[in-house]
Amino acid sequence: MAGSNDYIALHARERPAAPAVHDLTSGKRWTYQSLDRVISQYAAVLCRHGIEKGDRVAVLAKNRAELTFMHLACARIGAMYVPLNWRLSTAEIGKLIEDATPRLLLGDAMLERAHLPGLSLEKFAAAANDVDPLPCEAQDENAPSLILYTSGTSGLPKGVLLSEHNIWQTAHNFSVPARVTQESAFLCESPMFHIIGLITSVRPPLMHGGRLVVSDGFVPSRTLALLSDSALGITHYFCVPQMAALMRAEPSFDARKLRGLTAIFSGGAPHAAAAIRAWTDEGIPMADGYGMSEAGTVSCMPVDIDLINSHAGSAGLIPPGVHVRILDEQGEECAPGEAGDILVKGANVSRGYWRRPEDTRAAFIDDGWLRTGDVGRMDGDGFLWLIDRKKDMFISGGENVYPAEIERLLAGYPHIVECAVVGVADERWGEVGHLVIVQTPNVRIEPADIVAYLEPRLARYKIPKHITVADKLPRNGAGKLDKNTLRAITGTQAAPKSNAPRHL
């Protein structure tokens, strides 16, 4: 018998011939009936490999439909799926494997590249074709089915434990504001070792009987072609703001071809209000949201263009069942509009980290409240606004400075490709801002012009005192901006006596 949270089994009986999954990497397609069958066949092969309840199954591979099958198969037998980040170095991947201690390691060419022994996904899939589906018993929906490693921006990656109940709740939290139905089709290009690629782009369409279209990655011109393809009929697409900007900069960009989308959804980094309105002005909803590995979807902007425009830059509304608190330094509730630490609680929130009891006790407090590490505010309309990561804040002359506020303002500045602000030591003010910019090739940006642009928009203590030009910003294996490295680079250099730009 399938588990109580098994939406695939439900749709296989309710509408067996409905299209479920289309893998663009192989050209293969599955209906809900064939999807249900292949998941149970994968479960049977896992059992033949001796996988039991609580065992870990790790996979190192680029996006393909089989990764979704493997995760769902693990859930049907009570095992834990462990997707590995193929962007990491061999040594970093080795540390994750050492931490997860999987009983089975599978993968594609990424295994060979990392010089790791493991079973080919192709061979596993071939073996699954030749076995009878496993009649699965109902599993504990609150038991972990996934160990999802964080990006490690604050240290070594932590393995977040997520249950099927957590995961399907995230699907529900997103589905309501995003208007997901049986007619929805999601294009999944975010890597399937990340919460967006593995969960938010996958589970909502499968929950509602829609379609999942799998791509092996983001290529601006190709992505635009896929989103414009009426035969594919894509309705929902996730990206980070940098990807959205790259699509708009692509010569083939034509907003008219994208108006069939329910919305494009963004997250993972600050998204400037001006950049959001550039999409909505052309009739395309650009809906920001807020989430994390530990809690999946926490908030999402409704896909109504008028609401987006009136709250551009917000992370949206909190769905029913998710509880959010904004607390000041004394642990008291902040009034609307006041900034404070964001805490989250709900059925979507993990119970903790794999083999990290101290980290679990530090992050998950007071009967399940998660300290997110983010600073934000709630406005009078109930919209959540993110300000910055708490650890990125610095204090200048006794005043709190949040780098993300400055970075958002500069997101639309001419010829700045990307930028970041970190706090550096200063004899007079304690700390001041150090702005690092990547500029358009063959263009020189004058620091005085940046300061003049910021002066009417920011308090003087927030304006960066130092400006550096870099060829690129440091990022970790998950593609996230690595501010620890940026602080180390800027902190080891002699502070300039003016805003004259330097080069990293």
**pLDDT for position 500:** 47
The span from the CA of 243 to the CA of 213, in Å, is: 18
Instruction: Identify whether the C-beta of residue 143 lies closer than 8 Å to the C-beta of residue 76.
Output: no
Q: What pLDDT is stored for residue 492 in this prediction?
A: 52
Across 10-30, average pLDDT: 97
pLDDT for 490: 81
For residue 306, pLDDT over 50 is answered with yes
User: What are the tokens at 446?
Assistant: 């004058």
Check whether 250 has a pLDDT greater than 90.
yes
Among 179-183, 308-312, 445-449, the range scoring the smallest mean pLDDT is 445-449
Residue from 380, 438, 371, 430 nearest 401 by CA: 430
Helix (H, G, I), strand (E, B) or coil at 186: strand
Burial class (CB in 10 A: 0-12, 13-18, 19+), 356: middle
116 within a domain of the structure (yes/no): no
Residue range 251-258: mean pLDDT, rounded: 96
User: What is the percent of the chain with per-residue pLDDT over 90, rounded to a whole number?
Assistant: 76
The pLDDT-based confidence of 255 (bands split at 50, 70, 90) is very high
Contacts 24+ apart (CB under 8 A), 223-228: 223/187, 223/189, 223/247, 224/250, 224/252, 224/253, 224/254, 224/257, 224/258, 225/252, 226/24, 226/187, 227/187, 227/257, 227/258, 227/261, 228/254, 228/257, 228/258
Please tell me the least confidently modeled range out of 80-84, 177-181, 424-428: 424-428
Q: What distance in Å separates the CA atoms of residue 86 and residue 64, rounded to the nearest whole number?
A: 13
Average pLDDT over residues 51-69: 98
- For residue 446, which of 482, 498, 499 has the smallest C-alpha distance? 499
Is the confidence at residue 4, as pLDDT, over 70? no
As for how many domains the chain has, the answer is 1
User: Which CATH number fits the domain that encloses residue 448?
Assistant: 3.30.300.30
Provide CB contacts within 8 A for 357, sequence distance 6+. none
What is the three-class DSSP state of 214?
Answer: strand
Give domain status of residue 467, yes or no: yes
The answer to whether residues 417 and 440 touch, using CB atoms and an 8 Å cutoff, is yes
Identify the domain containing residue 471 by its residue range.
Answer: 393-503
**61, 86, 58: which is closest to 74 by C-alpha?**
58
**pLDDT bracket for residue 393 (50, 70, 90):** confident
Residue 320 lies in a domain: no
Q: What is the mean pLDDT of the chain?
A: 92
- pLDDT band, very low/low/confident/very high, at 87 (cuts 50, 70, 90): confident
Whole-number pLDDT of residue 1: 42
Q: Which residue's entry shows tokens 């990125």?
A: 392
Would you say residue 261 has pLDDT above 60?
yes
Q: With bands split at pLDDT 50, 70 and 90, how would you rate the model's confidence at 271?
A: confident
> What pLDDT band is residue 485 in, cutting at 50, 70 and 90?
confident
Q: Where are the alpha helices (DSSP H) in 193-296?
A: 195, 203-208, 220-228, 241-249, 273-280
pLDDT at 435 > cutoff 50: yes
Is residue 352 included in any domain, yes or no?
no
Residue 494 banded pLDDT, cuts 50, 70, 90: very low
**Considering the domain boundaries, does residue 445 fall inside one?**
yes
**Is the residue at 480 inside a domain?**
yes
* 483 domain-assigned: yes
- pLDDT band (50, 70, 90) for residue 240: confident
Residue 415 lies in a domain: yes
